[in-house]
Structure 1
Amino acid sequence: MADTLRAALLLAVLAAAGCRTGRNYTSIEGPRYTGSPAVAHTGECAHDQTLRLASFNIEFALRVDSAIAVLQSDPALRGADVILLQEMDESSTKRIAETLGMGYVYYPAVFHLRTRRNFGNAVLSRWPIAEDKKIVLPHLARLASAQRAATAATVRVCDLLVRVYSVHLGTPAGVSPAARRDQLGVILADASQYSRVVIGGDMNDEGVGRTALNLGYAWPTRRGPPTTGLGRLDHIFLKGFSSPDSAAAGTVLDVRGASDHLAVWTVGVLR
């Protein structure tokens, strides 16, 4: 009974927080924010090109200094080729990208009343971003009617193209597990035309990755510690990659108070 009451109270709190969500950006055209690194990437290309990939939900982009410290110092994140960020605004995205010497693309999903700032997903890359788009996801949140979106980018790695998605699916209070599967399904449908794909972010669900598995994706972040107080919700799915070894994925356990989420990472070899 106590567990049921706690769950009900948690849902009520999350729903109330959702009610403070502001204006949806329904256009697939934007707002759109991009930037290129001051120094172009000059990394050498290898026959078996390896990419280090990371995803980090930086809670409302409130503690960017701490997040930058984590991204610069943690051995698993330092020097990542692609970083997927969620709950970002445009100025924080630009600041992180410029500090790390990376290009970026950012699309907000909503203007959030809690922070009075934009709220959305970013893709940061050391390799050139050849193309990008915003994908508006189905199923508005209960009560708040807030939408979710994914930021997609095509990254040119040597002579190969890699399609990358930074994702933030609906919360447990906002939408059902079936709705989150639908949301991921829209992204997977867009990704079906690409042979090399990275999908990562805050999935708000421990099991939604089975939808990707069923389509032949690898799920290197499936096992590990909880990434939030609600479970292991942050993940990366890969297609067109091989894994160099069984230890080529993990969770950053100390994020220096930057977020209520832990960062996840993996390493893949392009096939």
Structure 2
Amino acid sequence: MRVVTWNLWWRFGPWRERQKAILAVLRELDPDVVGLQEVWAAGAENLAEWLADELGLHCTWAPSPAPERWRKRIEDPDAGSVHIGNAVLSRWPVVERETLLLPAPPDLADGRAALYARVAAPSFDIPFFTTHLTSAGHASAVRRAQVTALAELVARHRGGTPFPPVVTGDFNAWPDSDEVRLFGGTRTASAVPGQVLYDAWDYADPTAPAATWTPENPYAARLLEPAVRIDYIHVGPPGPIGEGHVRHIRRAGHGPVDGVWPSDHAAVVADLAEDESAII
């Protein structure tokens, strides 16, 4: 089962051209389940729904309750009607969902949320989540509160299936940060006692390029920040016959398509096992 996470950079930059490049990358990846962040919608147009239609996937979308802070950041005559949110695309139907507004102080409260979607795959349900955490560099404490709320959401919905929870998203945090370690629960005490969520990149080739935010990307280069991985796929411990074991993981969307970079972030792609063939 192929899982993708990708921050799509909302309606920034040449967004019309970018959406075609996003589609081209996703079409080539042929994913089964996708977690998307910074998805735009305006009137009858919705980027996630358009992608789902083009790819033959199901879609569930969760708009931010506070789009006004985002609208101030773009020069667009239609900005007043543009929404932002998270979405899940899936090869199989979504049979249950919940949106959780993540905690943030007033100065950072721009509607960041987590979306839970229970995906009815042929052999078992998949508890799938996608999220977008606060981006301010100094806001590690805020992100720790957010990953605690996210971990509690996962704990409420992880049961009833042999497949482990899959959590995707833009955490806006370095791999060795307090918030990422807190969420995973393997390098410090877990946000939810007893709950472990592996960073799927721990299964990657150690020599593979890992940065999903990098000055190689011209949209990111303008901020003069270091190259780092801030986008994640987390997976719970494998099921009884190896369900959810991470077989492969890599970046995608980290270069131009017909001269256009799809987003300011690279995507992360993981192939997860579905059966006992994953057991070593």
Structure number with the higher strand fraction is 1
Query: In structure 2, what residue type is equivalent to 1:197?
Result: P
- Residue among 148, 161, 171 paired with 2:135: 171
- Residue among 250, 261, 267 paired with 1:263: 267
Asked whether 1:96 is paired with 2:40, we answer no
**What whole-Å deviation, never above 9, does each CA across 1:29-79 have from its counterpart, x for those lacking one?**
xxxxxxxxxxxxxxxxxxxxxx21001111115221110011112xxxx22
SS state of the match for residue 69, structure 1?
Answer: helix
- Calculate the TM-score normalised by the size of structure 1: 0.73
How many angstroms does 1:200 deviate by?
0.6
- Residue among 168, 183, 187 paired with 1:212: 183
Residues 58 and 86, structure 1, Cα contact 8 Å, conserved in 2: yes
Residues 200 and 236, structure 1, Cα contact 8 Å, conserved in 2: yes
* Closer/same/farther in 2, CA of residues 102 and 158 from structure 1, 3 Å limit: same
Asked whether 1:227 is paired with 2:212, we answer yes
How many angstroms does 1:130 deviate by?
0.3
Q: How does 1:50-65 map to 2 (within 5 A)?
A: 51-61=1-11, 62=15, 63-65=18-20
Q: How does 1:33-182 map to 2 (within 5 A)?
A: 51-61=1-11, 62=15, 63-73=18-28, 78-90=29-41, 91-109=46-64, 110-111=66-67, 112-113=70-71, 114-115=73-74, 116=79, 117-140=82-105, 142=107, 145-173=109-137, 176-182=139-145
Query: In structure 1, what residue type is equivalent to 2:268?
Result: V
The aligned counterpart of 1:184 is 147
For 2:30 and 2:22, locate their aligned partners in 1 and report how far apart those are by CA, in whole Å. 14
* Closer/same/farther in 2, CA of residues 270 and 212 from structure 1, 3 Å limit: farther
* Closer/same/farther in 2, CA of residues 56 and 159 from structure 1, 3 Å limit: same
* Closer/same/farther in 2, CA of residues 244 and 186 from structure 1, 3 Å limit: closer
Residues 240 and 270, structure 1, Cα contact 8 Å, conserved in 2: no
Query: In structure 1, what residue type is equivalent to 2:183?
Result: A
Deviates more, 1:109-118 or 1:180-189: 109-118
Residues 53 and 82, structure 1, Cα contact 8 Å, conserved in 2: yes
For 2:120 and 2:183, locate their aligned partners in 1 and report how far apart those are by CA, in whole Å. 23
Matched residue count: 213
Query: In structure 1, what residue type is equivalent to 2:231?
Result: D
For 1:187 and 1:198, locate their aligned partners in 2 and report how far apart those are by CA, in whole Å. 12
Q: Identity of paired residues, percent?
A: 25
Query: What's the Cα RMSD here?
Result: 2.0
Deviates more, 1:91-100 or 1:254-263: 254-263
For 1:239 and 1:54, locate their aligned partners in 2 and report how far apart those are by CA, in whole Å. 16
Query: In structure 2, what residue type is equivalent to 1:102?
Result: L
- Calculate the TM-score normalised by the size of structure 2: 0.70
For 1:85 and 1:244, locate their aligned partners in 2 and report how far apart those are by CA, in whole Å. 20
* Closer/same/farther in 2, CA of residues 255 and 178 from structure 1, 3 Å limit: farther
Query: In structure 2, what residue type is equivalent to 1:176?
Result: A
Residues 221 and 264, structure 1, Cα contact 8 Å, conserved in 2: no
* Closer/same/farther in 2, CA of residues 140 and 93 from structure 1, 3 Å limit: farther
**What whole-Å deviation, never above 9, does each CA across 1:222-241 have from its counterpart, x for those lacking one?**
56421113421000100143
Residues 72 and 100, structure 1, Cα contact 8 Å, conserved in 2: yes
**What whole-Å deviation, never above 9, does each CA across 1:126-157 have from its counterpart, x for those lacking one?**
01100111110001463x54231111101111
Query: In structure 2, what residue type is equivalent to 1:183?
Result: Q
**What whole-Å deviation, never above 9, does each CA across 1:165-211 have from its counterpart, x for those lacking one?**
111000124x6112112111111111113142111111100133322
